[in-house]
Amino acid sequence: MPKEIANKTKKETYYKCTHCGDEIFWNTHKKFTYCKCKKIWVDGCEDYVRVGGNEGDYKVLTK
Ligand SMILES: [Zn+2]
C-alpha cells in the first residue's frame, strides 16, 4: 500500500529499489516515477511524498 510520508522528507532523500538498484529522488514534481523494474514508484512534490512498493522493496537513502 502507498505510504504517506508528508513533511518528514529531507531535501536529499532518495528511494532505492532493492531489486534493480534504481534510485529515485523524492521530489518528482508530481510525476509518477517508477524504478527500472517497476517494483516501486515515487510520487512527490513540496507538499507530499508517496512511495509505492512493499516493505523491503525499497530503502530510504539520505545523501
Ligand atoms: Zn526496481
Residue for grid cell 530510504: 60
Which residues lie at CB < 5 A from ion ligand 1? 17, 19-20, 22, 35, 37, 39
Q: What is the pTM of this model?
A: 0.81
| In contact, 40 and 52? CB cutoff 8 Å | yes
pLDDT of residue 2: 65
Count of domains in the chain?
1
pLDDT of residue 10: 58
Facing residues of 33 across strands?
A: 42
pLDDT tens digits in sequence order for the chain, 63 residues long: 566 665 555 578 999 999 999 999 999 999 999 999 999 999 999 899 999 999 999 999 988
d(CA 38, CA 42): 10
Question: 22 C-alpha to center of ligand 1: Å?
Answer: 6
* 32 Cβ contact partners less than 8 Å away, ≥ 6 residues apart: 41, 43
Q: Which domain holds residue 32?
A: 3-62
* Residue 25 grid coordinates: 529522488
pLDDT of residue 52: 96
